[in-house]
Amino acid sequence: MTVTVLTPAPALPRPRTERPGRRLSGRLTHWWPVLPAAAPVLLLAVPFEYGNGSSTSTNISVADVASAFLVLFCAVRLLRSGSRPLSPAAALVLGVPAAGLAVATMTAADPAAALPGFVRYLQVFVLVPAAVVLLLRDARDFRLVAGSFVVLALVQGGFGVWQYVTRTGASYMGSDIRAVGTFGPTDVMGMATIVAFGMVVATGLALRPPPGAPRWVRPAALGAVVALVVPLAFSFSRGSWIATAVAVAAVVLLAGLRTAVRTLAAAVAVAVVLVGGFGVGSQLITDRIGSITQVAAAPDQSVTDRYTMWAAAVSMWREEPATGVGLKGFPAYRDGHASLGLSSGSDTAGAGHAYQRQPLLSPHNMYLLVLSEQGLIGITALAGSWAALLAGGARRLYGARRARGAAADCGLVAVGLALWQSVDFLYADIGGPSTALTGIVFGLIAWWALAGPVPPGAAVPGGVRAPGTV
């Protein structure tokens, strides 16, 4: 007789349930190295009194402090890791502007007065972009920083719409209806710039959602684009309208012909609903759009002032073609080169501020500002760096699309931002709290153009290994 002895089966290990606190801690551990790159963006939601908002102002905003911490944080990480900071190509593209800035500072009539301008340009076009390139480890980091632009745009844009509806915005055509967000009437371009950046980022994410993204990402991004159209319209910024139209149209076309057709059809439907159903196309906005085609035939005073300052900038360059009149030199040389048609300043009021006359301290054209103050040396260095970033970003995007790269959404966003900035610089220059954003934007563009998504497991600058996903 055989006796079978039954032994109890070994107990299966109980599945470990991850506690919410531990999960949050893990996410923070993963994201904390890149949070300093997103901080300057999100901190622009903090109201701050910033002088006259011109490119010659030396006041420091909270976002500037955060960008300085970003550069310091990146430098400490590099020193601790001991790795090579940048590739030779990245060092050349990002470092060449520093040489032109140094020449313009040393050749200025008053180098001490030009020094704050040197620091500002170095911050925006060299140090902050390089820090962003070094801190971003993969496409997920890129999306985190780019996504912060959308969050900020929705916050500032929502506040701008509230200003328009309640007539508590900046003064425009005799009414306090101009949407300026938290920046006040002396920096009317601040909110428009932020909203435009958010629209470009959201458009790229809507057309090419990240691989493995939840289904709600595409409709949420499309909803953000539609929502941001309203505050951009209420900003009454013709330059931002033109730059945004060019950048968004380019992103749509670069995403593919089929996607472009569907998106354009949806955009037309949304425009019909907004204009016909909700009356977004008010008479003021219609007149403002119509004035874009009248800037040559019947310019208003603001356009006349701009043309006059453009001519003055060209005259300064002709006087000092190689090195310009020196950083921060435009205001000092303006009256000696401007015609009598230039007014004494622009009127600003509203948004919680009393009436004041804002001096015209820059030509409101970044290319002409650089040409007049830095000459051919400076414009070649800066514009050459920007052109290299745009060309490199477009080349990488073309390669990512042909290879069906998973990070094509990053390429669309980077190229779109580069195009927006290139067009906007025709009508604006750096100045005001949103200038801190410009450095982050160039960092995102430079990361895609010069570094891009690294292969899984490859080493990246800073001694951190990529997690193997894009």
Residue-by-residue DSSP string for 309-377:
HHHHHHHHHHHSTTT-S-TT-HHHHHHHHS-TT--S-EEEEETTEEEEEEP--S-S-HHHHHHHHHHHH
* 353-358 sheet: strands from edge to edge: 175-178, 170-172, 346-350, 353-358
Higher pLDDT, 35 or 403: 35
CA separation for the pair 163, 293 (Å, rounded): 28
CA separation for the pair 63, 42 (Å, rounded): 8
Phi-psi region of 456 (alpha: psi -120 to 50; beta: other; left: phi over 0): beta
Q: How far is CA 416 from CA 204, 208, 424, in A?
A: 8, 13, 12
pLDDT band at 457 (very low <50, low <70, confident <90, very high): very low
Average pLDDT over residues 226-231: 90
Higher pLDDT, 18 or 31: 31
365 neighbors 429 (Cβ within 8 angstroms): yes
Q: Residue 466 falls within a domain, yes or no?
A: no
Q: Residue 456 falls within a domain, yes or no?
A: no
Average pLDDT over residues 191-203: 94
Q: What pLDDT, on a 0 to 100 scale, did the predictor assign at position 204?
A: 92
Q: Residue 34 falls within a domain, yes or no?
A: no
How many domains, in total, are found in the chain?
Answer: 1
Tell me, what amino acid is at 98?
A
Residue-by-residue DSSP string for 396-441:
HHHHHHHTT-TTHHHHHHHHHHHHHHHHHTTT--S-STTHHHHHHH
Q: Residue 461 falls within a domain, yes or no?
A: no
Average pLDDT over residues 165-181: 85
235 neighbors 178 (Cβ within 8 angstroms): yes
pLDDT band at 378 (very low <50, low <70, confident <90, very high): very high
Q: Residue 100 falls within a domain, yes or no?
A: yes
148 neighbors 142 (Cβ within 8 angstroms): no
Bridge partner list, 347? 357
The tokens describing 207, both together, are 């057309």
Q: What pLDDT, on a 0 to 100 scale, did the predictor assign at position 110?
A: 86
Q: Is the dihedral of CA 349, 352, 354, 358 positive or negative?
A: negative
Q: What pLDDT, on a 0 to 100 scale, did the predictor assign at position 133?
A: 94
Q: What pLDDT, on a 0 to 100 scale, did the predictor assign at position 41?
A: 93
CA separation for the pair 133, 138 (Å, rounded): 10
Q: What pLDDT, on a 0 to 100 scale, did the predictor assign at position 16?
A: 54
Phi-psi region of 83 (alpha: psi -120 to 50; beta: other; left: phi over 0): beta
| Mean pLDDT value across the chain | 80
pLDDT band at 303 (very low <50, low <70, confident <90, very high): confident
**pLDDT of 464 higher than 50:** no
355 neighbors 349 (Cβ within 8 angstroms): yes
Highest average pLDDT, of 112-116, 331-335, 456-460, comes from 112-116
Q: Residue 38 falls within a domain, yes or no?
A: no
Higher pLDDT, 350 or 333: 333
**pLDDT of 116 higher than 70:** yes
Q: Residue 225 falls within a domain, yes or no?
A: yes
166 neighbors 241 (Cβ within 8 angstroms): no
136 neighbors 157 (Cβ within 8 angstroms): no
Q: Which of 426, 436, 454 is nearest to 366 (CA)?
A: 426
Q: What pLDDT, on a 0 to 100 scale, did the predictor assign at position 71?
A: 93
Q: What pLDDT, on a 0 to 100 scale, did the predictor assign at position 453?
A: 60
Q: How far is CA 114 from CA 52, 105, 108, 298, 328, in A?
A: 19, 6, 7, 37, 5
CA separation for the pair 131, 360 (Å, rounded): 33
Higher pLDDT, 294 or 143: 143
Q: Residue 21 falls within a domain, yes or no?
A: no
Average pLDDT over residues 155-175: 88
Q: Which of 34, 106, 117 is nearest to 331 (CA)?
A: 117
Least confident of 196-200, 227-231, 385-389: 227-231
Q: Residue 222's domain spans which residues?
A: 54-451
Highest average pLDDT, of 25-39, 91-105, 161-175, comes from 91-105
Q: Count CB-CB contacts under 10 A for residue 298.
A: 9
User: Going by C-beta distance under 8 Å and a sequence separation of 6 or more, which residues neighbour residue 127?
Assistant: 71, 439
